[in-house]
Structure 1
């Protein structure tokens, strides 16, 4: 099975046109409408990893220096 995911809400006439096109090529098509899943995971910004791990700087200092340019 191959899936095609349309990420934007489309007008019904466009969906119908797409389904009709696929069926005209003898492609068995099915429409499933799902709600988008929103991530509830909070990712914390950490300076302890990556390029700043060898420097004596915290996230607040880094933000201050970046925004004062």
Structure 2
């Protein structure tokens, strides 16, 4: 199966024209409308892992130093 995803809101007459064109070439096509996926969960920024684990600094101090340049 091959999928074509139209990311913008497209007028119904244009969608109908596209489907008719595909069917004229004997391509079986159908229209499925779905809602855009939303981010369910955001990851919490943590200093407990990675390169900052050996340093005595918390996430607020790190953010403050990064944004005050």
| TM-score normalised according to structure 2 size | 0.75
The alignment covers a number of residue pairs equal to 69
Aligned twin of 1:58: 58
Give the alignment of 1:8-27 within 5 angstroms. Answer: 8-27=8-27
Structure 1's unaligned 5+ residue stretches are none
**After superposition, where does 1:29-68 map in structure 2 within 5 Å?**
29-68=29-68
Which secondary structure state, in structure 2, belongs to the residue aligned with residue 64 of structure 1? helix
| Aligned equivalent of 1:2 | 2
For residue 20 of structure 1, give the secondary structure of its aligned residue in structure 2: helix
1:28 correspondence with 2:28:
yes
TM-score of the superposition, structure 1-length normalised? 0.75
Encode CA deviations 1:13-57: one digit per residue, 9 max, x unaligned: 221232122222211000011222322223211122233223222
Where structure 2 has 5 or more consecutive residues not aligned to the other structure, the ranges are none
Question: 2 CA distance for matches of 1:50 and 1:14?
Answer: 50
